[in-house]
Amino acid sequence: MGLNYKEIDSVSVGYKEEVTMYSLDFEEYLWALGYHEEQIEDLYKKMIRLEPLSNTQMSVFLEAFHEYMVLGGMPQVVSLFVENKNYGGTYQIQQQIIRAYEEDIRKYARGLDQAKIARFYRNIAIF
């Protein structure tokens, strides 16, 4: 994009704790839902052997996968979903995370480049 980036001179100290977190994969999501290792292992074995799942298994795991896709796998969002057993409040947290990413990206840019970055970032398709 031909943007010039500035270095951030100071780092906040004392009042915040930095934690590196990654989105959950589907297996970790199933753990968060309370599935046991044996259940997940059975799913993997059937997939490797190309064995079909029972209608019940397919229905249950497909529903869990749809939930996972909607939630996006971010730990805070998944935690709220598991705790409340519904989607209430999850969208707001997703939006906070998206805004935090944008703010973090923009702090490295100068002047008009910030607007370019924000416009570009906001046009990334999110499903």
pLDDT for the residue numbered 62: 96
Considering the domain boundaries, does residue 97 fall inside one?
Answer: yes
Range of the domain at 52: 24-73
Considering the domain boundaries, does residue 78 fall inside one?
Answer: no
pLDDT in tens, 58-117: 999 999 999 999 999 999 999 999 999 999 999 999 999 888 888 887 788 777 788 888
In this structure, are 65 and 33 located in the same domain? yes
Considering the domain boundaries, does residue 2 fall inside one?
Answer: no
Name the domain count of the chain.
2
Q: Is the pLDDT of residue 1 over 60?
A: no
- Give the C-alpha separation, 107 to 114, whole Å: 8
pLDDT for the residue numbered 61: 95
Considering the domain boundaries, does residue 15 fall inside one?
Answer: no
Dihedral, CA of residue 98, residue 102, residue 103 and residue 104, to nearest 10: 100
In this structure, are 29 and 66 located in the same domain? yes
Considering the domain boundaries, does residue 18 fall inside one?
Answer: no
And the tokens for 105? 């990206």
Three-state secondary structure readout of the chain: CCCCECCCCCCCCCCCCCCCCCCCCHHHHHHHHCCCHHHHHHHHHHHHCCCCCCHHHHHHHHHHHHHHHHHCCCHHHHHHHHHHCCCCCHHHHHHHHHHHHHHHHHCCECCHHHHHHHHHHHCCCCC
In this structure, are 55 and 94 located in the same domain? no
Considering the domain boundaries, does residue 116 fall inside one?
Answer: yes
Selected residue with higher pLDDT from 117 and 51: 51
Q: Is the pLDDT of residue 14 over 70?
A: no
In this structure, are 33 and 69 located in the same domain? yes
